[in-house]
Structure 1
Amino acid sequence: MGREQEELWDAETAREYDTPGTGMFAPEVLGPTVERLAALADGGAALEFAIGTGRVAVPLARRGVPVTGIDLSRPMIDRLRAKADGATIPVVVGDMATATAPGTFRLVYLVFNTIANLLTQDAQVACFRNAARHLTPGGRFVIELWVPELRKLPPGRQAVVCRVETGYIGLDTYDTLHQHVVSHHFTFGAGRDARLFRTPHRYIWPAELDLMARLAGFALESRHADWNGTEFTAESPSHVSVYRLPHDG
């Protein structure tokens, strides 16, 4: 992913990433994620691309699934190491589109929109191919990804407010020619000052994602709106898509 992404996921970001019990770490968010991934691993080992601080990997390993990770950010891995040692959750430092982890797996997974951190279509296709290289025949690749909100973008406007809550405003700016979006995260208190954190992404339509999967030898097995198995519709803001390699023979 390059130096830009390495600098983005630095020590300061890693320190602020974990929010135990709330947000992405809330039991109602994390519980269904871990249970579904454990079922999809089907008794085998799992590989997490962009494992980060272990938000999903740590509880999944405690659930009895052997987990290995790949991540580009050493500060994020350092945070993970405070929760689990290298024998419990081995991690390879590298780009999820190209890095190789030892062993083979029944499941490879990418959560919380992370494939969009790869900023070109070529890199995203390479990520699918890298997942396929790590999987046994019949293995699954699971991606959690948001649906681009272009229907909210009137002609001539480039920005969409994606979330507003106490002390936080999220704003996405779109470059529709190149399928790029930059998420602007504004956090603030009662005073006049605010803090801005920006993350660049390349957005992917579900149909384009399915074609990437086919190029890597996968077929779509299922798509739901969330980890609980809610039906995916035209109004769903995100999806959990499960791709599977063919069995031998």
Structure 2
Amino acid sequence: MLVNRWREGTRARKLLPMTSSDLWDEESALRYDDNSAEMFSPQVLDPTVDFLARLAGSGPALELAIGTGRVAIPLAARGIEVSGIELSQPMVDQLRRKATAEQIPVVIGDMATAVVPGLFSLVYLVYNSIGNLRTQEEQIQCFANAARHLAPGGRFVIELWIPGIRRFPPGQAAVPFDVSDRHVGFDTYDMVTQQGTSHHYRRDEEGNTSYGYSNFRYIWPSECDLMARLASLTLEQRVAGWDGAPFTSDSESHVSVWRK
């Protein structure tokens, strides 16, 4: 089960053309690795990289919404050539503290439309980030963009959580996903538009509390499959997580693989 569902922090509300995504500012990018520390743990990261490395083979691989390089850097350390697309320049600036542009080239742009030269054996999108695209049309374009970058036989992989809508009792407006000493997080949903907002309250070591939020559009697995079909991709595998556990009606997340 994923605990930190969405990228968080104080958001700059200025949006780049042709995208509905929230834009990460410098302050949010500086805090990202610390706020998402559990996602960097070997227990989380090693199965992720193992899974992707098996699919990439000899590569190359392309990560959409590459962020600060949480997955790309250890994947590149396996000898796979990794490139990325990222909307936020401040996030890439943090990646550059860990890897050069020669080691991991990144195109600044929208993952639904930006183009990276070449074809790839693997395109992947992790940590629920496809939900950052807040319209169905942009999400469809993202699948098409992934397919555009794939060599024949290549695979597109996404990691995505299952919306916790079944936990809504009548009249409830939010679903908590993490309640701990340092962090309280909950999601609010509009079940007509499939729009949602993740709310995060964090307490630092000095006892100060900060609030951050991020907006998203949730997608069901069946809707993902339809988007994939529109992009001429075929479902090859769906599991509950990077460890390969079976996907069932009770699963709270999925890792899905489509092949070109």
2:95 to 72, 80, 89: 80
Query: Could you tell me how far apart the structure 2 residues matched to 1:52 and 1:25 are?
Result: 13
Structure 2 residue identity aligned to 1:137: P
* Other structure's SS at 1:19 match: helix
Unaligned runs of 5+ in 2: 1-13
Deviation at 1:192, TM superposition (A): 7.3
The answer to whether residue 106 in structure 2 is matched with residue 106 in structure 1 is: no
Provide the aligned C-alpha RMSD in A.
Answer: 1.9
2:50 aligned partner: 35
- Distance 1:161-1:42 versus aligned 2 partners, 3 A rule: same
Could you give the per-residue CA deviations for residues 69-119 of structure 1, whole angstroms, max 9, x where no partner exists? 000100000000111111110000000000000111000000000000000
Equivalence for 2:144: 129
Structure 2 SS opposite 1:184 = strand
Identity of aligned residues (%): 56
Match of 1:147 in 2: 162
Mark the CA change 1:7 to 1:117 in structure 2 (over 3 Å): closer, same or farther.
closer
Question: Which deviates further from its counterpart, 62-71 or 187-196?
Answer: 187-196
Higher relative contact order (CA 8 A, sep 6+): 2
Within 5 Å, give how 1:87-102 maps onto structure 2. Answer: 87-102=102-117
What are the equivalent positions in structure 2 for 1:48-87 lying under 5 Å apart?
48-87=63-102
SS of 1:128's equivalent in the other structure is: helix
Q: Which amino acid aligns with 1:92?
A: V
Question: Could you say which residue in structure 2 is the equivalent of 1:2?
Answer: 15
Amino acid at match of 2:30: R
TM-score scaled to structure 1, two decimals? 0.94
Q: Structure 1 CA distance, aligned partners of 2:148 and 2:210?
A: 41
Would you say 1:187 and 2:182 are equivalent positions?
A: no
Which residue number corresponds to residue 199 of structure 1? Answer: 214
Counterpart of 1:2, as a letter, is L
Q: In the alignment, is the contact (CA less than 8 A) between 1:158 and 1:175 conserved in 2? A: no
Q: Deviations over 1:27-60 (max 9, x none)?
A: 0100010111010012120000000000000000
TM-score, structure 2 as length reference: 0.90
CA distance, structure 2, for counterparts of residue 192 and residue 20 of structure 1: 16
**Aligned counterpart in structure 2 of residue 18 of structure 1, from 12, 26, 33:** 33
Counterpart residue type for residue 15 of structure 2 = G
Q: Which amino acid aligns with 2:194?
A: Q
